[in-house]
Every structure is written in structure tokens, then in C-alpha cells.
Structure 1
């Protein structure tokens, strides 16, 4: 019986860690991109961040699974970690981000520049976010991702 309770606890801790990491890290980078690169008004930035936070609650753990799956292709080299973390982040987050911008009223130019800007940001921040995610997981008593792909950290 305790095994089942432990599994449930690990799943909730994984959900909490992955979601918290995503919200903390990308709220800050989202504000930077939307205001300074896309040129959105502060009201648009607020609406975008509120919608983004809600979506991050829904996508935090699925992204954790996605990243863990990508990282299984990574070797132990630093450049491999950078490559696979960046590919995971861009392929998962950019389409979601573009949809958020469109829903929140970005015009065509804002959508284009916002999406291009966030692609560059995601490529650049892929590995730092991966390391941050591993750090947050560690604080929750969870292992780094990628060692047990698509697992629930059981």
C-alpha cells in the first residue's frame, strides 16, 4: 500500500516541480520578449502572462516528459546537452507561445517578431532552463530528467 502512496507522491512532486520551474523561468523571459522585442503594450503583456501562466500549469509536466524523452538522445557532452535541451524547448514551447500571442491580440507583425524572438530566446535558454528544471526537481527530491525517459519518476 505504501508503494502506491509513494508513486502518487512522486507524481505530484514531479507535477509541482516541473510546473513551478516553467512558470518562474518563463514568466520573466516572456515579459522581456513581449515588451522589448515584440513591442506589445503592457496591458497585452499582462494578459499574455496571465494566459501563459494558466497554460503553463497545463503544460509544465507534459513538457517535463517531452524534455526527458529528448534528453535520452543526449550524450554526456556539454554540447549535446545544449543541443537536445534547445531542440526540446523550441519544438514544444514556440507553437504554444505563438498561439498565446494570437489569442491575446497580437497583430501579424507582433506575432511574427514575437515568435521569432521567442525562438531565439528558447534556443539560447534551452540548456539554462534544462539545468534550472533539474535544480528545481532536485529541491523536490526528484532525479534529473532524461535518465528514465517518459517515466513518472517511479
Structure 2
């Protein structure tokens, strides 16, 4: 259960900050529209926060063997982009964004997701440590104990 809370907490905090920035300053959604999207995202994140963590961990296990920062960055970036973009577009559509706004926001969030993939991966590992659960880290083929995450 702590694993669910850690993964979900990490995704709510991180996506609220990054998503609101993109929606307001890049896609030019109103504060109300962005707040609506962010609030609508919370129930979705409650459902997908842990599956994302499992997906990311699976990708790390799949690519185990090379423990470079480049690999960790590539895995985190790929996981973030391929998991988040479809969900984000659906949330925008459900909350009244126009096709133009969705394309603008999705294009921007694609870049933002690529740039934030590794920072989010590191934040996720930190949240897992905070919640005292085993976490996948760079170069690990299976979760490590929280006290080994230094």
C-alpha cells in the first residue's frame, strides 16, 4: 500500500506543477481551465500513479545491465513520454480544451515530458524513499532497500 501512495503522491505533485505551467503559460488556458484539468487529473492519477511506477520499473528491468546515467535518462524519458501523453490529451479534451489547445498543449508537454522524464524519475525514487518502499534506481535489475538509496 505504501508503494501505491508513494507513486501516486509523486505523480500528483510533479504533474500538478509541470502541467499547470504548460497549460497556463504555453497553451494559454485560463486559470479556471487549468484548475479544472488539474482537479480532473487527480482521480486519474489515483488510478494510474502506481501503474506508471510499475511500467517504469519494468522498463528498468528490461534494460538492466548497463548502469549509465545516459541509460537511466533514456528509460525515464521514454517511460514518461509514452505513458503520460495519451492520458494528458484525454484530460484536456474532457475538460473542454479546443483541438488547437490540445495540439498546442500536447506538443509542449511532449517536450516538457522529454525534459522532465529524468527529474521525475529521480523525484519518484525520492518519494519512494520518503514512504520507505523499495525503489528501482539506475542500474538496478530489482528494487533496492530504502536505506541503500543515498
Same fold (TM over 0.5): yes
Which consecutive residues of structure 2, in runs of 5 or more, have no partner in the other structure? Answer: 144-150
- Alignment match, 1:117: 108
Q: Deviations over 1:65-97 (max 9, x none)?
A: 011011121521001100010000100000000
Matched, 1:79 2:56: no
Q: Deviations over 1:30-77 (max 9, x none)?
A: 100100111111111111000011111111001000110111215210
| In structure 2, C-alpha distance between the alignment counterparts of 1:144 and 1:131, rounded to whole Å | 10
Matched, 1:50 2:39: yes
Q: How do 1:50-69 residues align onto structure 2 when only pairs under 5 Å count?
A: 50-69=39-58
Matched, 1:147 2:147: no
Is 140-149 or 129-138 further displaced after alignment? 140-149
- Alignment match, 1:102: 93
Task: Point out 4+ residue stretches in structure 1 off by more than 4 angstroms.
Answer: none
Alpha-carbon shift at residue 139 of structure 1 (Å) = 1.1
Which consecutive residues of structure 1, in runs of 5 or more, have no partner in the other structure? Answer: 1-11, 150-154
Q: Deviations over 1:80-121 (max 9, x none)?
A: 100010000100000000000111111111000100111111
Tell me the SS of whatever aligns to 2:84.
Answer: helix
| In structure 1, C-alpha distance between the alignment counterparts of 2:129 and 2:31, rounded to whole Å | 35
TM-score of the superposed pair, with normalisation by structure 2: 0.88
TM-score of the superposed pair, with normalisation by structure 1: 0.86
Q: What is the root-mean-square deviation of aligned Cα atoms in Å?
A: 1.2
| In structure 1, C-alpha distance between the alignment counterparts of 2:23 and 2:141, rounded to whole Å | 34
How many residues in Structure 1 have an aligned counterpart in Structure 2? 138
Is 65-74 or 109-118 further displaced after alignment? 65-74
Matched, 1:134 2:128: no
Alpha-carbon shift at residue 144 of structure 1 (Å) = 1.8
